[in-house]
Amino acid sequence: MLIDSHAHLEMSEFDHDRRDVIGRALSAGVEYIITVGTNLELSQKAISLAAEYDNIFATVGIHPHDAAAADDEILRQIKELARQPKVVAYGEIGLDFFRNISPPQKQVEVFSRQMEIARELNLPIIIHDRDAHEQVLRMVEESGIRRGVFHCFSGDAKMAKKCVDLGFYISIPGTVTFDKAKKITDVVENVPLEYILLETDCPYLTPVPYRGKRNEPSFIVHTSKKVAQIKSLPWQDVARAAADNTKKLFGLKN
Ligand code: NI
């Protein structure tokens, strides 16, 4: 039993073969896929997909890359979408000071306003943090939200401990399968299994042995096997624990 806790099936990379991709995930034993919105249009598309497929749930939010365009009206519409059935979390939201596609100050404002919405609607949050560890941690702490996940975790083991202490899960992507993945390996070693989620972040971050190709939910099995190897556990145990954690966080039925 596997769950892909963070995919982007709504993205145009899957427009030509989405049904096949979802079929392959089912054949590979992927029970649920959480497809994660990153702007207004893609959040709507994520909700449509969740309405179409029993095994897909959606989340809505404005990604830090898209923060520049997020005005009052867009945030109001996203908030409406967040009330739809099958929306299980708010995100992905956060800060990305690596690429700074949106101005940093605007990212901070939009992240803060979206955490307020999530808090009001009592939804867990999905956090995107790239080169912004300290500020993200501080803002999350101040928000009062104690339920969510740091997706594609990029901090060190010390930061992971802080996130777990705040009530958050640590999500491990396919990059853990790469040769020079020392930091994330260290995180996997140190974070107890009950705080770990697994994700593809597809179409991005494709695990070995498919590195270089488009990623898809069926490839989550390779991430699960690598995490299991690091933790010296059977991979099915890791898959089941991560799936149980995901169900608990997002309130999915068992
Ligand atoms: Ni993502």
List the CATH number of the domain containing 199. 3.20.20.140
Residue for token digits 């991430």?
223
Q: Which residues contact 117 (CB under 8 A, 6 or more apart)?
A: 75, 78, 79, 82, 90
Please state the domain count of the chain: 1
Q: pTM value?
A: 0.97
Q: Can you tell me the mean pLDDT for 53-58?
A: 97
Query: Going by DSSP bridges, is the β-strand pair 87-96/56-60 parallel, antiparallel, or unpaired?
Result: parallel
List, for residues 62-83, the tens digit of each pLDDT value: 999 999 999 999 999 999 999 9
Å from CA of 204 to ligand 1 middle: 8
Å from CA of 50 to ligand 1 middle: 17
pLDDT of residue 253: 80
Q: What is the mean pLDDT of the chain?
A: 97
Q: Which residues contact 174 (CB under 8 A, 6 or more apart)?
A: 200, 201, 205, 206, 207, 208, 211, 215, 219, 222, 223
Å from CA of 178 to ligand 1 middle: 18
Domain with 22, as residue range(s), is 2-250
- Of the pLDDT bands very low, low, confident and very high (cuts 50, 70, 90), residue 254 is low
- Of the pLDDT bands very low, low, confident and very high (cuts 50, 70, 90), residue 45 is very high
Local structure of residue 195 (DSSP, 8 states): G
Å from CA of 47 to ligand 1 middle: 16
List, for residues 94-112, the tens digit of each pLDDT value: 999 999 999 999 999 999 9
Å from CA of 64 to ligand 1 middle: 11
